[in-house]
Structure 1
Amino acid sequence: MPSPVFLPEDSMSHRKDPYDVIVVGAGAAGLSAAVMLGRQKRRVLVVSLKRRRNSPADRVNNVPFAHGTPPGEVYRKMESDAAGYGVEFVWDEVRTAWATDETVGVRTADSGSFSAGRLLLATGPVDDLPAWIPEGQWGRTVFDCPYCHTLEHDGADFVAVGSGEETLQHALLCRQYADGLTAVVSDPEALGSPLAERLRSVGAQVVADTVRSARALPAGGLLLVTGKGREITAGAVVLDTAIQRPNQVLPKALGLELNPHGFPRTTLFGQTSHPRVYNTGKSNPSSPYFAWTGAAASGLNAARKISEDLAFG
């Protein structure tokens, strides 16, 4: 396999593009796209950090043929599949990107600059985790998906934490697993909602408060301390998706049009406002529960459109 080609940024427009496609991000979307593009015999470079958003988790769930498998194992298999079709990898941070009428390119922190005919952004959103989460608990005791890690805590005391309605929804989605159930919402108006009443009807507590600190308990779980001095024991904590924010560094550098949520505005196939730039994965969510399989499928959709774009001109 040839080594990646390094080009100085100011020479990009004067050199033939060494790649057909640069994929930024090696999660479910980016690697799914890379495999399909590699099978299309496109020259593909994946640039990514090794750590993905779900790397702290013990296992991926609800993923066909990989259910219960550690995330690192899933990604190693996908990387091997992509490399087998000639896809190259650079494990580095992408600091900036640019796009002209003729070419697109990225500059990394330590590995130089690369250019291509098309650019696929598959970086996903950024998690702004609350400071009170103890080290090593994110993705295990504390998580944000009411589908992916709930069964592993069956019979525990569940606590849903967040701002309002979505927190109450998460609590109700966890009720069948919970021995005890509490929703801690920062918006007092949420206490009067039908969802709050439904929670109370099934024996759950709903309080207007915030979590100030937490510590891991020797027997497992967490002890939460709220802003109003409550102490709540939790075997599992489910956060609302307000912790996710769009990763706007590259979209803003590229001048992409953004949607009202701050993500690049795209078509179903990931086409952005720049004809050479595509965006996919959880950075283009169709719902708050845009799961691993949905991100992978969006990567395949984008790869198909990119391949057609390259073929049809």
Structure 2
Amino acid sequence: MNETEKNSLVEAAADVDVVVVGGGIAGLSGALTLARSRRSVLVVDSGEPRNAPASGVHGLLSRDGIAPGELLRAGRAEVTGYGARIVSDKVVAVRRDGERFVVATAGGRSYGARRLLVTTGLVDELPDVPGLRERWGRDVLHCPYCHGWEVRDAPIGVLADGPAAVHQALLFRQLSPDVTLFLHTADDPGEEQWEQLAARGISVVDGEVAALEVGDDDRLSAVRLSSGRRVPVRALVVAPRFEARSEVLAGLGPTAVEHPMGVGSYVESDASGFTGVAGVWVAGNVTELLGGVPAAAAAGVQAAAAINSDLVAADTDAAVALRKEERFLDAFSPDAEAAGCERALGNRRHGLDTLLRPGRPPGR
């Protein structure tokens, strides 16, 4: 066994204050906050960021347009600069062992933690249209705030594969005068929605979408219907179903439930990310399906602050209990009786000296 392997075993055996499962923006933001609070932190990241296909991160003040990979590299450097550790591995199971958690990884390692922050994100379940997944995050989009500016004034198609399609079409109409709603397999819009689409000049195309066409410039060029009709577009908007990556929580209690808006599944939590299970917090898209990168960063910080406060309370309770125990043991130690007699004798002597001191009236 070489020195690196020995160090790895030592690291794996030692408990940390917090294990962060997932090293995206929410996880790194949480780790940074905890490390700056002088907590021992371990981040376990499988290297599968949801936004990897995107060319840039948008809406992040002072970093608008930064490549996702570059943002993560900068974040990792900041986190490790404060003493936190990051390991490239995948968490496959977490179990409770008394007051601590044991985190097992695909690489065969096991880590102990006092608290757990899960920031595993979500999986985008995309419509089953040939060629669509290959364009995801490039010119197949879902969020006007993440990618809308980049397709402004271009012909934009909206695939109606859910109840939010008309709303999406209206949002993207703010960015381009050329928006087409493809009804695909969805029901016809209601009368009020037809009125809205017509008022905003949004074209509506009936018929199922069969495939996407890509030009020689490796950019989306058209949507092809099952009838053979081609409709030129440079971007296609879809509404994925968002499924929280919650498998690691299975042994602890929290499970993914259906989102109230019907857009997917998520792990319920309070405003701080607390799941209701002692010691377990979540942050980012695993609990907030519709949040972008800025929201994920804020959620990571908020969860970290709550975790640190919880640890402060636990540390204080332990310190108070220890202090009481030490005082109790001191009172009943073998030397306690002798020490008590000596203190009593000293007090008597002090009182007698005071009483007999010249020039001092008795009782003063």
Q: TM-score when scaled to structure 1?
A: 0.88
The answer on whether the counterparts of 2:31 and 2:79 sit within 8 Å (CA) in structure 1 is yes
Which residue in 2 is equivalent to 1:267?
A: 270
Q: Deviation at 1:306?
A: 0.4
* CA shift in 2, pair 1:294/1:193, >3 Å: farther
The answer on whether the counterparts of 1:281 and 1:298 sit within 8 Å (CA) in structure 2 is yes
Could you tell me which of 71, 90, 95 is aligned with 1:93?
90
Partner of 2:23, secondary structure, is: coil
More helix by share: 2
Deviations along 1:198-256, one digit per CA (max 9) or x if unpaired, are 1222221224544332231224323222345442222011111x331122312323221
Matched, 1:308 2:334: no
* CA shift in 2, pair 1:185/1:90, >3 Å: farther
Q: Deviation at 1:310?
A: 0.7
- Compute the RMSD of aligned alpha carbons: 2.5
Distance in 2 of aligned mates of 1:64 and 1:169: 26
**Structural mapping, 1:137-286, within 5 Å:** 137-186=135-184, 188-219=186-217, 220-240=219-239, 242-261=240-259, 262-285=265-288
Distance in 2 of aligned mates of 1:196 and 1:78: 46
Q: Deviation at 1:107?
A: 1.6
Distance in 1 of aligned mates of 2:114 and 2:85: 16
Identity of aligned residues (%): 31
Which structure ranks higher in relative contact order (CA pairs < 8 Å, sequence separation ≥ 6)? 1
Could you tell me which of 105, 110, 114 is aligned with 2:102?
105
Length, aligned pairs only = 303
Of 115-124 and 195-204, deviating more is 195-204
* CA shift in 2, pair 1:174/1:106, >3 Å: same
2:93 corresponds to which letter in structure 1?
T
Of 218-227 and 59-68, deviating more is 218-227
Q: Which runs of 4+ in 1 moved over 4 A?
A: 2-8
Q: Which runs of 5+ in 2 are unaligned?
A: 1-5, 260-264, 315-364
Distance in 1 of aligned mates of 2:9 and 2:313: 26
Partner of 2:116, secondary structure, is: strand
Larger of the two Rg values belongs to structure: 2
* CA shift in 2, pair 1:3/1:23, >3 Å: farther
Partner of 1:278, secondary structure, is: strand
Matched, 1:293 2:294: yes
Q: Deviation at 1:22?
A: 0.7
Of 39-48 and 161-170, deviating more is 161-170
The answer on whether the counterparts of 1:169 and 1:195 sit within 8 Å (CA) in structure 2 is no
Q: TM-score when scaled to structure 2?
A: 0.76
Matched, 1:120 2:121: no
Distance in 1 of aligned mates of 2:56 and 2:296: 17
The answer on whether the counterparts of 1:105 and 1:119 sit within 8 Å (CA) in structure 2 is no
